[in-house]
Amino acid sequence: MFETIRTSRYSERVLPVWVKHFMAISLLATFFFQTVPAAWGAQFDVDKLEKALAAPPYVPQQSQDLAISFLNHTLPRLLANDGPLIHRLGFGDRIGTRVTVDRAFSMMLIRREDVLSLIQRKARPIDLVNNTNNWLEDQEGRLIPKRIVFLLKASKDTSEVGAMWSSVTMEQSGDGSSWHIIQVGAPKLSHAMNQQGESGGNTFLLWIPDLNRHYLGSIQDHLFTLTVLFKDRLLNGDPGDKQPITPEYLEKLGRLYAELEFPKKSRPKVDGGEKPPQVQEGTRPKTEKTQRPAQAP
């Protein structure tokens, strides 16, 4: 589990505006330029996978070092005297205060084909995350999550009173030899994860890009449970609700997928929370391309 906590203070040194915004765009937009294999690879032993999900995530030292380097070196340069970018990344008016890495979550990417197989009862809930797009096995036989989200807390002291939340997300290379940053920011998602995450660290982030849905997941006694992060009128969920994967819930997901085939104007509007799925050309995730976490709510 990630344990190292480090502090960073924003630098007062001003970088040229175009440099800072180039860095920000490079970090925030990598989602749109990556590729994913059409097949996600063989499955892992279910008992081993359930144990990995039920325990705090194993966070390799290399990913910790990259998070610390980002916090102590890249972030101060990125935010130097740039108020709009500070707010966009979730730090509010906390310039000059300390930023720490609070904790880490493994991130599981859920593809459409696996959800549909579950809806059709051709798969089990654990099969949603049982693939090489979400896990790699190291030389010691440990299952390492392909993506790890480090929550960042900006505060004036060690308490969470008035704290602002952001995050930095890492991804392993295909052969597991290196890590790189694929997302920075996502303040609303980070705040929700902090509010709803279990203190023991045995929850993980689930992202369904087709449906624009994020959940925290947990597994116990072979049972998969979702925790709602954002108010969702379409699925009748409120933040903090525990949602078992039941036939009724799968039926709701099936209706959401059916809406992907309808024109945008025919879909109901949603007040706040997570948005209905989008169908404009260019926004629908492609199955042959690797999904990267985009800027979350």
pLDDT of residue 210: 85
Residue 203 lies in a domain: yes
pLDDT digits (tens, 9 = 90+) for 6-20: 434 433 333 444 444
Backbone dihedral region for residue 92 (phi beyond 0: left; psi -120 to 50: alpha; all else: beta): left
Percent of residues in the chain assigned helix, strand, coil, to nearest 5:
30, 25, 45
Higher pLDDT, 282 or 136: 136
Number of H helices, E strands in the chain: 8, 10
Weakest mean pLDDT among 82-96, 103-117, 176-190, 246-260: 82-96
* Predicted pLDDT of residue 66: 94
Evaluate whether residue 287 is within a structural domain.
Answer: no
Place 200 in a pLDDT band, splitting at 50, 70 and 90.
Answer: low
- Please tell me the distance from the alpha carbon of residue 282 to that of residue 257, in angstroms, as a whole number: 17
Instruction: Provide mean pLDDT across the span 101-114.
Output: 91
Q: Would residue 79 count as lying in a domain?
A: yes
Least confident of 92-96, 106-110, 254-258: 92-96
Q: What are the backbone angles phi and psi of residue 137, rounded to the nearest 5°?
A: -105, 125
- Residue 73 lies inside a defined structural domain of this protein: yes
Nearest to 15 by CA among 72, 82, 73: 82
What pLDDT shows up at residue 8? Answer: 41
pTM to 2 decimals?
Answer: 0.74
How far apart are alpha carbons 62 and 177 in whole angstroms? 9
Let me know if residue 137 belongs to a domain.
Answer: yes
Instruction: State residue 100's pLDDT score.
Output: 87
pLDDT in tens, 231-277: 987 778 899 999 898 888 888 888 888 887 654 544 455 445 565 44
Question: Which pLDDT score, from 0 to 100, does residue 40 have?
Answer: 54
Report whether pLDDT(278) > 70: no
Q: What range does the domain containing 219 cover?
A: 17-266
What does residue 58 show for φ and ψ, rounded to 5 degrees?
-80, 120
CA neighbor of 127 nearest in space, from 243, 257, 222, 197: 222
Closest to 49 (Cα-Cα) out of 105, 117, 109, 132: 132
Total tally of structural domains belonging to the chain: 1
pLDDT level of residue 29 (50, 70, 90 thresholds): very low
- H-only helix segments in the chain: 17-28, 46-54, 61-69, 75-79, 83-88, 112-119, 187-196, 247-259
- Quote the pLDDT of residue 121: 85
pLDDT at 251: 86
208 domain residue, yes or no? yes
181-206 as b/e: b if 16+ CB within 10 A: bbbbbbbbbbbbbbebbeeebbbbbb
pLDDT score for 199: 59
Mean pLDDT on 144-154: 93
If you average pLDDT over every residue of the chain, what do you get? 76
Which residue is listed with tokens 């440099």?
19
119-123, 140-144, 204-208: least confident range = 119-123
Rounded CA separation 286/290 (Å): 8
Helix axes 112-119, 247-259, angle to 10 degrees: 130
Is 50 exceeded by the pLDDT of residue 160?
Answer: yes
Question: Does residue 191 form part of some domain?
Answer: yes
Q: Is residue 92 part of a domain?
A: yes
3-state DSSP assignment of residue 100:
strand
Taking only Cα atoms into account, the Rg of the chain, rounded to an integer number of angstroms, comes to 19
Give mean pLDDT, residues 148-168. 82
pLDDT bracket for residue 77 (50, 70, 90): confident
* Mean pLDDT of the region 81-91: 79
CB neighbours of residue 45 within 10 Å: 11
